């Protein structure tokens, strides 16, 4: 009965309450299921031993019943032949068989009671085992579902980050394009301004050249015009 005694608290306890207090319900359930399966195997082995014992006791009872009947008949036959001593001996054997039968009957009754207790324990433990297995599978499914959801959420979060980075890159590219357009416009204005400035510089240079030429001419001696 050690198998049952080890798990009496589990059989009598509320499995839901035990799991609510557990820090790792799935691990505890796996351990409980394994222990219950081992205990159930031991109880069934014990039940098989008691069944075999009861069969043996039943055979002994049948043999003793036959012996009681046989010695009774022998005592009657001996008395019919006026052999009282032989009849007394037969009656003594009958009484011995009856006493033996009473003892075996008591053993059989006890064995039957123990077997009934074991069968009840097996039934209760099997019920608890079924409940634990069901809860274990439910916990596993919940854990798997939670893991999948976390993976999906992680992927969605990563996708959002990637999308945000792409948007930021596109925004940077757009800003780069606008800056390039502004630089091109500034470059155009600068080029136009430079061209206009160069034209005035060229005009001023030409005026300076002309003035220098006039001054140079003024320094030259006057040439008289010859008359024919």
More confident residue, 134 or 15: 134
| pLDDT tens-place string over residues 74-124 | 999 999 999 999 999 999 999 999 999 999 999 999 999 999 999 998 888
For residue 22, the surrounding DSSP H or E stretch is none
| pLDDT tens-place string over residues 27-61 | 777 777 888 888 889 989 999 999 999 999 999 99
- What local confidence, expressed as pLDDT, does residue 125 receive? 86
Least confident of 53-62, 70-79, 145-154: 145-154
Domain boundaries, the chain: 2-155
Label residue 36 exposed, middle or buried (CB < 10 Å: 0-12, 13-18, 19+). Answer: buried
**Are 68 and 93 a contacting pair, CB within 8 Å?**
no
More confident residue, 146 or 86: 86
The model scores a pTM over 0.75: no
**Are 7 and 122 a contacting pair, CB within 8 Å?**
no
- What local confidence, expressed as pLDDT, does residue 224 receive? 52
Share of residues in the chain with pLDDT > 70 (%):
69
Q: What secondary structure does DSSP assign to 122-179, as a single string? A: HHHHHHHHHHHHHHHHHHHHHHHHHHHHHHHHHHHHHHHHHHHHHHHHHHHHHHHHHH
pLDDT mean over 133-145: 75
Q: Under CATH, which number does the domain 2-155 receive? A: 1.10.287
Check pLDDT > 70 for residue 15. Answer: no
pLDDT mean over 158-174: 73
User: Mean pLDDT over all residues of the chain?
Assistant: 78
pLDDT mean over 199-217: 77
Check pLDDT > 70 for residue 148. Answer: no
Check pLDDT > 60 for residue 153. Answer: yes
- What local confidence, expressed as pLDDT, does residue 17 receive? 57
């Amino acid at each position: 009965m050690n198998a049952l005694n080890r798990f009496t608290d589990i059989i009598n306890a509320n499995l839901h309450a035990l799991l609510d207090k557990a820090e790792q319900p799935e691990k505890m359930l796996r351990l409980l299921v394994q222990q219950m399966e081992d205990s159930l195997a031991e109880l069934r082995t014990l039940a098989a031993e008691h069944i075999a014992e009861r069969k043996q006791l039943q055979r002994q009872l049948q043999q003793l019943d036959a012996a009681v009947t046989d010695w009774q008949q022998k005592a009657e036959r001996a008395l019919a032949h006026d052999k009282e001593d032989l009849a007394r001996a037969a009656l003594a054997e009958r009484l011995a068989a009856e006493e033996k039968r009473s003892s075996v009957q008591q053993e059989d009754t006890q064995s039957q009671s123990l077997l009934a207790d074991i069968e009840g324990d097996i039934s209760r433990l099997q019920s608890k085992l079924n409940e634990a297995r069901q809860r274990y599978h439910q916990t596993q499914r919940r854990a798997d579902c939670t893991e999948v959801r976390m993976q999906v959420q992680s992927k969605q979060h990563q996708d959002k980050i990637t999308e945000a980075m792409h948007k930021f890159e596109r925004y940077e590219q757009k800003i780069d394009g606008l800056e390039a357009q502004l630089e091109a416009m500034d470059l155009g204005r600068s080029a136009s301004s430079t061209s206009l400035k160069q034209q005035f510089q060229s005009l001023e240079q030409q005026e300076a050249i002309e003035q220098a030429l006039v001054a140079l001419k003024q320094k030259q001696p006057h040439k008289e015009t010859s008359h024919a």
